[in-house]
Chains A and B, each alone.
Chain A
Amino acid sequence: MQAKGLQGETEVMFVGIDIGSRAAKGVALSGDILLCSTVLDSGVHPGKTGQLVLEDLLTQSGKKKSDIKFIVGTGYGRVSLPFVDSTLTELSCHAAGAHFLNEDIRTVIDIGGQDSKVIRLDEDGNMLDFIMNDKCAAGTGRFMEVAAKALEIALGDLSSTAGKSVCPCEVTSMCAVFAESEVISLLASGQKPSDIAAGLHRSFARRVGAMAKRIGINGEVAFVGGVAKNEDLGRLICEYLEVNFVRLSIDPQIVGALGAAVVAQRSV
């Protein structure tokens, strides 16, 4: 990306920090240039993790703390960050981040560690409407973690494993607790891990897709958040909604942090 800003603008930077339930993300932005980004485990002390994210961004960019003009915190841990200049929910940040990447995006599907959201935005990247999952782990990254563990495969391998499936199983439970026992009994009955993984993805996609339809899908659609790394799941959600997701130039997990940095830049 090219800076279209004023001369010397790359000297200053704006930071967005997104402390989610499972991962902490940071993005440093200067004009139109994404200087650097980082993803760490959230850990048990969101405040300390936030500090680590900030330090990592400074190391990567080779800049000093005084070069940072504004920091916006977002995510569940946003209230635990004493050093931020302002906070905003991850809903608005995902809208802002997606808009920064592609101005045609009007719908964002975000699936993170503990919730899933569908956000509708206007032509300026403002949030128009949103819907979130029920307050349990069904339809979240946490559910994926539990499923992967029960299948004894790495979370990052779920997508490729499911891709090998010939005949996906019918998985009925979306509850993170009951899905685990369902996976175990499917394994015990001789089903292949690939077919189970594909079945889990299918019921997951139906759930998220149905939620998205409840508020309506509009314009270009982006799939973001940690779970968006799972390509097989993304393909199934697209099939359910009869859309194609826009290609993102960055890691989908850092879109919320990017949005926070965009808002930081807009705040001065």
Chain B
Amino acid sequence: MEFEVTESIQDVHTNLALQLEMAKDGGKKVVGCLCSYSPTELILAANAIPVGLCGSTQEPIAKAEEILSADQCPKVKATFGRAIGGTCPLFPLADCIISETTCDGRKKMYELLERYVPMQVMDLPQKPEEPAAFDHWLSEVEKAKCFLEKQLDVIITDEDLARGIRMMNEQRKLMTRIHYSRKQSPSPISGLDFANITSKLNYYVDHEDYLNLLSAFAQELEERNAKNIHASGVEGPRILWTGLGNSLGCNKVLRLVEESGGIVVCSEGCGGVTRTEDLADETLPPLEAIAQRYLRVTCACMTPNTQRFEDLERLCADFDIDGVIDLAWQFCQPFEIESYRVRELVRDKLGLPFLHVTTDYSAQDEGQLKVRIEGFMEQIEASKQRTRKTVENESRRISA
């Protein structure tokens, strides 16, 4: 399905490297980010342009395996391979990178990536609910601020930080509107179109233009809802996507789900609504507000990561979900193990069909995935029939 914003987004995306180079010629700085934990407010406060540098395709992996062992997750390998193999047009433009100690694969890979570009690895506490965690993380945020000041040769004032917070909050509010347009049934956009557009929407040169683009997209989706324009005539099972892989390039599973008749209407985790609906508190001292906001981000690298489960429960109800797909990359220990608890929540507490998928960026397992996903759709259909039967029996019992 075509969207009016597609062209402008495509325009930004295709010429991104060139535009960034031009901005750099004009004195702008570029800072690389690798994760949802990177405090983008700091980068905006430094008047620099944030760019995501995560790899999400199969091609750069061979290059990475010249250095990293093959049994690392595809994200770690693709990110590293793109950076060192010269296939990422953005990597050479980054003046420096802000990263965090999330999973083991990432943090050990960063030790090697650091050889190619100045990098600040923030020490992320992994039991965020511990009282001491916040103080430590706050000092890490402050260190990252000092790192940027030194690398970019700027001074970041509290006013700058407050401005960065306002910019990010505006962006998040618009993105949240975009996500919530899918609450309507039938959804105005397929999950695949959504992932394609929003993945590209992560990139910008000028933040003001970017907000205008987000606003136009939000409006377009809301108009579709008002005019009853849907992604498909008859809506199939409404799927909530949790875990990893909700992005451009690694959309193999997303495509299989929608080819099998389902539609992804909500996503939790990276690339999902939970990353956008949580704002930084504009009433707090700015550095504290930033630190608090990022310590609330959910990820399986955290323990016990309680918030993810609360989010899932709320979103399943809000988005009228028929089934949940939980994706983990191969060799991702945190998400693989946490999946057991996600299954318990979804299947046993919420009574919804649940599918866990382990995969990578390659196309080699499409046949096997297809069976799982089509089987899952059949399971959802059976579950819906069962619910209808129970309701009918109940109403018959009441009327009798």
Report if A and B associate in a common complex: yes
Q: Complex Cα distance A264/B385, Å? A: 18
With both chains docked as a complex, state the minimum distance between the C-beta of A151 and any C-beta of chain B, in angstroms.
28
Quick one: given A126-B382, A126-B385, A134-B358, are A92 and B375 in contact (CB under 8 Å)?
yes
The stretch from B31-39, B289-297, B366-374 touching chain A is B366-374
Give the residues in chain A near B372, CB-CB below 8 Å. Answer: 132
The answer to whether B347 has its CB under 8 Å from any CB of chain A is: yes
**Measured CA separation A126–B378 after assembly (Å):** 9
| Chain A: number of interface residues, binned into ranges | 10 to 19
User: A76 contacts which chain B residues (CB < 8 A)?
Assistant: 367, 371
Q: How many residues of B contact A (CB 8 A)?
A: 19
- Near B by CB (< 8 A), chain A positions 87-146 give 88-92, 115, 122, 124, 126-130, 132, 134-135
- Tell me, rounded to whole Å, the shortest Cβ–Cβ distance linking B187 to chain A: 25
Which residues of B lie under 8 Å from residue A135 when comparing CB positions?
A: 359, 365, 368
Report A201-237 CB contacts with B as 1/0, cut-off 8 Å. Answer: 0000000000000100000000000000000000000
Complex-state Cα separation, A132 to B376, whole angstroms: 12
B 217-251 binary contact with A (CB < 8 Å = 1; else 0): 00000000000000000000000000000000000
For residue B354, which residues in chain A have a CB less than 8 angstroms away from its CB? 129
Q: Which secondary structure dominates chain B's binding surface?
A: helix
Could you tell me the distance between the alpha carbons of A196 and B365 in the complex, rounded to whole angstroms?
Answer: 31
Please determine whether B358 and A127 come into contact, CB atoms closer than 8 angstroms.
Answer: no
Q: Which residues of A contact B378 (CB under 8 A)?
A: 88-89, 91-92, 127
Q: Which residues of B contact A127 (CB under 8 A)?
A: 375, 378-379, 382
- What is the CA–CA distance of A127 and B379 in the complex, to the nearest angstrom? 5
Q: Which residues of A contact B186 (CB under 8 A)?
A: none
Bound Cα distance A145, B378 (Å): 31
State how many angstroms separate the Cβ of B392 from the closest Cβ of chain A: 14
User: How far is B370's CA from A91's CA once the two chains are assembled, in angstroms?
Assistant: 12
B262 within 8 A of A: no
In the complex, what distance in Å separates the CA atom of A76 from the CA atom of B378? 16
Q: How far is the CA of A127 from the CA of B359 in the complex (A)?
A: 23
Show 14 A/B contacts (Cβ-Cβ < 8 Å), sorted by A. A88-B378, A89-B371, A89-B374, A91-B378, A92-B378, A115-B368, A126-B383, A126-B386, A127-B378, A127-B382, A128-B383, A130-B375, A132-B371, A135-B359
Interface residues of B (CB under 8 A from A): 340, 347, 353-354, 358-359, 365, 367-368, 371-372, 374-375, 378-379, 382-383, 385-386
Known: A76-B371, A88-B378, A92-B375. 10 other contacts (CB 8 A): A89-B378, A90-B371, A91-B371, A115-B371, A122-B382, A126-B383, A127-B375, A127-B379, A128-B379, A129-B353
